[in-house]
C-alpha cells in the first residue's frame, strides 16, 4: 500500500492545484518533506549501459572521446554502444532505423543484464531518439535520456528524466531564441561551444555523468592506459550510409609508421583484416600506445584509402573509418599524378573567424583555416584539401564550392606536390594548434599521388590532460540521494514500474494530468 498511498497523495496534490513551495516547502537542496513520509529513500543508480545515436553525416566517431572518458571512470567497454544508421535515409528509412535501434537496445540489455539503458542523441540523433521514445513500451527500456543540441521546441519524453544540452550557435533557433526541450528535467547551454564540440567535449561529459550517476566523475580526462599496448577496433563504412554496401570486398592493412615522416617501418603490415558487407567490422588490433599508425583500405578497382591518426593512448572500440564507393563524395576531388589530396577531420569544429580563438592548421607551413573557409557558423569538422582543376596553382581566398556547400565541410584549393616514387619519399606535415593555444597536434604523412590514393587525417577532438578537471578518489563528491532533487524525481518516475496493480492509476496520471504534474511538481523537485 505504500506505493499506492504515494500515488494517491501526488494525484490529490495535482488535482487540488497545490504547488510545492512557500513556507511549507523544504529547502531547494532537499526534497519536499512530505515525500519522505510516503517514500523510502531512493538508492543511487547502478551503472547502466549507454546507447549513443549520432547526428546527420555522423557516426561512432562522435562518441569515441566520451566512450573513452567513461572507460576512464570505470565503465566496461561493452556498456558503451554507438548505434550507427543511414542519416540520409537513402538505404534505410526512419521506420527501419527505429526498429534496428529497438533491437540494439534489447541486445544491450540482454548482454549486460540491465533492465534499462541510458539513451544519448546528438543533432539528428535527437529526432531519431525522440521518435523512438514516443512509441509504446520504449520509455520502459530507458532510464535517462540525454538530448544534445537538437530538436529544440519539442517535448521531453514522458516519465524519462531528460538532460538537454545546447550550444551558443545551435542551428535549432526560432527567431534567434533557443527554445530548449520542453519539459526536460534540465536544459543547459554552453555559450562557448559549437554543435559537434558539445557532443565530444569534457564539459558535456561531466554534465552527463552527474545526471546519470548523481555524483561527479573521477576525471573528465581520457586517461592513458598503464599497459604498453591497447586494443583498437571498429568498422569500415561507406559515407554517409554507415554500412559497407560497396559491391567489392576489401582488405584493411595496419602499418606502424615513423612519426617524423609517416613512412612505414616494416616491409609487411602489423595486422590485416578482411572487410565484408554489410557491417564492415575489423579488429581488435593491439596498438603500441606511443606509436603512430597508417590504416589503408585496399579494394579492387578503387583508389587506396589511407587513414592516419594520433597515437591511441587508450583502448578504442568505436573507430569508424569512412570511405566512398564509386559515385560517392570522394569522386568530386580532382585527381592527378602530380598532387596529393587530403581530408582532415576533427570532431570539434574548426574556427577561422574568431580572432585569438581561431584554430590554426598548417599544411607544410600554410594555414588553411581562414574566415572564408571556416566561419564559426559553418560548423566545419571536415576540410578537403587538393589542387582544384589540377592546375598546379593554389587559391586560398575562395572555398571549393562542391564541398563548402555541404554540411560540416569545406574545400581548400592547395597544391601539394606528390611523390613520383612508390612508396613515396616525401612528407606532408600537418600541424594543428587548437583554439586558445591549449595544445599542438602534429601528424606527418607521405605525399601519395591523388591519382591512385586518398588520404584521411584524423586529429583528436581533445587535448591530452589539458583544460579538463581531474579529481582524486578522495575528492569525488558523493551526492546523498536523500538530498538530491533529481534523485527524488527519478524515484517518483520509476516508482510505478512493473506494478500491475497500479497500472490503471499510472495510466490515468500519465495520460490525463501528466503535463500539469510536470509543471507544478517536477520543477520544485529540481
Domain-ending residue, one of 190, 223, 256: 223
Residue whose C-alpha is closest to residue 144's, from 489, 455, 516: 489
User: Euclidean distance between the first and final Cα of the chain, in Å?
Assistant: 27
State phi, psi for 346 to the nearest 5 degrees: -145, 130
Predicted confidence (pLDDT) at residue 2 exceeds the cutoff of 70: no
CA dihedral (413, 415, 420, 424) positive or negative: negative
pLDDT at position 298: 98
Confidence of residue 492 (pLDDT cuts 50, 70, 90): low
Mean pLDDT of 138-159: 91
445 and 490 share one domain = no
Angle, helices 2-16/503-520, rounded to nearest 10 degrees:
40
298 and 319 share one domain = yes
**How far is Cα 176 from Cα 352, in angstroms, rounded to an integer?**
23
DSSP structure class, residue 215: B
487 and 451 share one domain = no
Give the CA angle between residues 295, 297, 303 to the nearest 5°.
125
pLDDT tens digits, one per residue of 120-147: 999 999 999 999 999 999 999 999 999 9
Predicted confidence (pLDDT) at residue 287 exceeds the cutoff of 90: yes
Domain-ending residue, one of 399, 423, 458: 458
Least-confidence region, from 52-56, 361-365, 482-486: 482-486
pLDDT at position 183: 87
Inside any domain, residue 466 = no
37 and 55 share one domain = no
197 close to 462: Cβ distance less than 8 angstroms = no
pLDDT at position 10: 52
Neighbours of 102 (CB within 10 A): 15
Of residues 464 and 228, more confidently modeled = 228
Helix runs in 325-477, H state only: 401-404
pLDDT tens digits, one per residue of 162-210: 999 998 754 444 444 556 888 898 899 888 899 999 999 999 999 999 9
Predicted confidence (pLDDT) at residue 11 exceeds the cutoff of 50: no
pLDDT tens digits, one per residue of 405-441: 999 999 999 999 999 999 999 999 999 999 977 889 9
pTM score of the predicted model: 0.84
Inside any domain, residue 186 = yes
Q: How many domains does the chain have?
A: 3
110 and 130 share one domain = yes
**How far is Cα 381 from Cα 197, in angstroms, rounded to an integer?**
9
Inside any domain, residue 471 = no
200 and 258 share one domain = no
142 and 209 share one domain = yes
Which residue shows C-alpha cell 494517491?
8
- Show Cβ contacts of residue 391 under 8 Å, excluding neighbours closer than 6 positions: none
State the average pLDDT for the chain. Answer: 84
Helix runs in 17-164, H state only: 33-38, 64-72, 94-112, 124-133
pLDDT at position 151: 85
- For residue 158, give its domain range: 50-223
213 and 144 share one domain = yes
pLDDT at position 207: 95
Inside any domain, residue 229 = no
65 and 118 share one domain = yes
State phi, psi for 283 to the nearest 5 degrees: 90, -175
Inside any domain, residue 463 = no
99 and 123 share one domain = yes
Mean pLDDT of 230-242: 97
Inside any domain, residue 472 = no
Domain-ending residue, one of 223, 251, 273: 223
- Show Cβ contacts of residue 188 under 8 Å, excluding neighbours closer than 6 positions: 163, 164, 165, 166, 207
Looking up residue 217, the CATH number of its domain turns out to be 3.40.50.1820
Inside any domain, residue 395 = yes
- Show Cβ contacts of residue 115 under 8 Å, excluding neighbours closer than 6 positions: 109, 141
Confidence of residue 19 (pLDDT cuts 50, 70, 90): very low
What whole-number percentage of the chain has pLDDT above 70?
78
307 and 363 share one domain = yes
Inside any domain, residue 465 = no
282 and 375 share one domain = yes
Looking up residue 362, the CATH number of its domain turns out to be 2.60.40.2200
Amino acid at each position: 500500500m505504500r506505493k499506492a498511498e504515494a500515488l494517491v497523495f501526488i494525484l490529490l496534490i495535482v488535482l487540488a492545484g497545490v504547488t510545492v513551495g512557500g513556507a511549507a516547502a523544504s529547502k531547494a537542496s532537499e526534497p519536499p518533506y512530505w515525500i519522505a513520509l510516503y517514500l523510502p529513500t531512493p538508492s543511487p543508480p547502478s551503472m547502466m549501459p549507454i546507447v549513443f545515436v549520432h547526428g546527420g553525416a555522423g557516426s561512432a566517431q562522435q562518441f569515441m572521446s566520451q566512450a573513452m572518458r567513461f572507460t576512464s571512470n570505470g565503465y566496461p567497454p561493452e556498456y558503451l554502444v554507438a548505434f550507427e544508421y543511414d542519416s540520409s535515409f537513402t538505404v534505410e528509412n526512419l521506420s527501419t532505423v527505429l526498429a534496428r535501434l529497438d533491437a540494439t537496445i534489447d541486445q544491450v540489455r540482454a548482454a549486460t543484464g540491465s533492465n534499462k539503458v541510458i539513451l544519448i542523441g546528438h543533432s539528428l540523433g535527437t529526432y531519431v531518439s525522440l521518435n523512438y521514445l514516443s512509441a509504446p513500451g520504449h520509455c520502459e527500456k530507458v532510464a535517462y535520456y540525454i538530448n544534445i543540441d537538437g530538436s529544440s521546441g519539442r517535448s521531453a519524453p514522458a516519465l524519462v528524466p531528460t538532460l538537454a544540452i545546447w550550444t551558443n550557435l545551435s542551428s535549432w533557433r526560432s527567431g534567434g531564441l533557443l527554445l530548449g526541450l520542453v519539459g526536460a528535467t534540465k536544459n543547459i547551454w554552453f555559450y562557448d561551444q559549437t554543435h559537434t564540440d558539445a557532443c565530444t567535449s569534457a564539459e558535456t561529459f561531466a554534465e552527463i555523468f552527474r545526471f546519470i550517476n548523481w555524483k561527479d566523475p573521477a576525471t573528465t580526462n581520457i586517461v592513458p592506459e598503464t599497459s604498453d599496448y591497447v586494443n583498437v577496433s571498429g568498422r569500415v563504412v561507406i559515407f554517409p550510409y554507415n554500412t559497407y554496401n560497396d559491391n567489392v570486398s576489401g582488405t584493411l592493412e595496419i602499418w606502424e609508421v615513423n612519426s617524423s615522416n609517416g613512412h612505414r617501418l616494416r616491409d609487411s603490415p602489423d595486422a590485416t583484416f578482411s572487410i565484408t558487407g554489410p557491417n564492415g567490422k575489423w579488429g581488435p588490433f593491439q596498438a603500441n600506445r606511443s606509436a603512430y599508425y597508417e590504416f589503408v583500405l585496399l579494394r579492387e578497382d578503387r583508389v587506396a584509402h589511407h587513414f592516419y591518426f594520433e597515437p591511441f593512448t587508450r583502448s578504442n572500440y568505436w573507430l569508424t573509418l569512412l570511405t566512398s564507393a564509386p559515385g560517392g563524395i570522394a569522386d568530386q576531388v580532382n585527381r592527378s599524378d602530380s598532387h596529393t589530396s587530403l581530408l582532415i577531420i576533427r570532431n570539434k569544429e574548426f574556427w577561422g573567424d574568431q580572432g585569438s580563438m581561431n584554430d590554426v592548421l598548417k599544411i607544410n607551413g600554410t594555414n588553411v583555416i581562414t574566415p572564408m573557409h571556416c566561419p564559426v557558423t559553418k560548423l566545419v569538422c571536415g576540410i578537403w584539401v587538393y589542387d582544384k582543376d589540377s592546375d598546379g596553382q593554389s587559391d586560398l581566398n575562395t572555398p571549393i564550392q562542391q564541398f563548402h556547400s555541404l554540411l560540416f565541410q569545406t574545400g581548400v584549393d592547395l597544391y601539394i606536390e606528390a611523390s613520383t616514387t612508390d612508396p613515396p619519399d616525401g612528407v606532408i606535415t600537418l600541424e594543428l594548434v587548437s583554439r586558445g593555444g591549449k595544445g599542438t597536434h602534429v601528424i606527418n604523412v607521405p605525399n601519395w599521388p591523388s591519382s591512385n590514393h586518398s588520404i584521411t587525417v584524423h586529429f583528436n577532438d581533445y587535448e591530452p590532460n589539458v583544460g579538463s578537471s581531474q579529481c582524486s578518489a578522495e575528492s569525488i563528491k558523493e551526492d546523498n540521494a536523500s538530498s538530491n532533487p533529481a534523485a527524488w524525481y527519478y524515484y517518483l518516475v520509476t516508482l510505478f514500474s512493473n506494478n500491475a496493480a497500479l497500472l490503471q492509476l499510472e495510466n490515468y496520471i500519465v495520460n490525463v494530468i501528466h503535463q500539469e504534474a510536470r509543471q507544478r511538481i517536477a520543477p520544485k523537485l529540481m
